[in-house]
A = this chain, B = another copy of it.
Amino acid sequence: MTKRITIKDISRELKVHHSTVSRALRDDPKVRKETRERIKRYAKKHGYRTNMNALQLRGSVKNVIAVIVPNINHIFFSNIISVITNLAYKDGFIVSVFQTNESLELEKGVLNSIILNNIAGVIASVSMETTNAKHFRALKKYRIPLVMFDRVVEKIKVPKVESNNFEVVAGVVKKLNRDGCRRIAHITGPKKISVFRNRNNGYHQAIEELGLPYTYSCSPKKGFTIEAGKETAAKIFSNKIKPDAIICDSDIMMMGIIFQLKEINIRVPEEIKLVSFGDNPVLNLLTPNVSSIIQPMTEIAEASYRLLKNAIDEKENTRPINQIFNANLIYR
């Protein structure tokens, strides 16, 4: 009651050696069946639990997986975490969640903490401030497998899971153009982060192919917030030439945009068409005039976990795999 029961306690009580107890508890047939059962019964009765620390100290197992995200609060990330947690649980892993709050400094600290706690593997999506992968490379030194998803760093050779960002945005631009839009703007994130760069490249590529004269793209300084959406919309519509369509990488920001458009009496979709990466089902339901690009969150999460699991089991021999999943446009 007052102290955790150990193998030695059992051995003392049952007058057998603790190594016998150890074997019995792991169903080693080398222990006589009778003794085995007696030991197991006693153990169960007294609520014996193997001490994971002792196991891990011996190097035989690690059972904690780390998930690093910029922000747990975002539906996209909380969904990913949710799926990973469920999968990991089935395999006997615990999931520790780390949140960088979009700060590189915090991200570095988080990686430190992960190494300190010798964790089995890491699934990560980087902060907006992250440009190089130096701190992630440290994991390799400690033999901790790493998988990146969504916001990946290109310079590091690890398995990665992404959406087809380039293609989907290019497709959206063309679709909008077919529907008559000629001044399409793209609100995205820092170019240094591949996911945003890819999307923006897809945007520019399509604009160019279509030969449209107007381009406008920008990225908020302080992360994707409703406030940033409002400000951005205000800025865009203070310009002389105003867009007739906006593609936005964040549904949270899109909220702010919608809000601001109401303020200045611009009707959606008559005067402007809106498309956003829409992970929030609530938002999808409530904004019948806004088109959504739906990312296959479950698939991304499953693939990320699977890749990490393989790396932990050393099935993948260092050959980094990139998996791309298709996002789908729901056009409204």
Contacts and interface: CB of A to CB of B under 8 A. Distances in A.
Interface of A: 1-2, 4, 47, 49-54, 56-57, 63-64, 71-73, 75, 78-79, 81-82, 85-86, 89, 92, 94-99, 101, 106, 109-110, 113, 115-118, 138, 141-143, 226, 251-252, 255, 258-259, 280-283, 285-287
Contacts of A92: 113
A277 to B, nearest CB: 14
B85 A79 contact: no
Residue with the highest number of chain B CB atoms closer than 10 Å, among A63, A109, A286: A286
Contacts of A252: 282
Contact of A285 (B50, B96, B116, B226): B226
A136 to B, nearest CB: 14
B94 A96 contact: yes
Contacts of A54: 57
A79 to B, nearest CB: 6
A283 B280 CA distance: 10
Contacts of A258: 286
A96 B99 contact: no
Interface of A is mostly: helix
A278 to B, nearest CB: 11
B142 A4 contact: yes
A235 to B, nearest CB: 20
A52 B118 contact: yes
Contact of A255 (B63, B138, B282): B282
Contact of A4 (B63, B99, B118): B118
Contacts of A106: 89
B72 A1 contact: no
Contacts of A71: 82
A118 B50 CA distance: 10
7 residue pairs, one from A and one from B, having the closest CB atoms: A78-B78, A286-B286, A53-B56, A72-B82, A53-B57, A96-B96, A53-B53
A283 to B, nearest CB: 5
Given A82-B99, A118-B52, A282-B283, A141 B94 contact: no
A54 to B, nearest CB: 6
B85 A81 contact: no
Contact of A117 (B52, B73, B99): B52
Given A53-B53, A94-B113, A73 B63 contact: no
Contacts of A75: 73, 75
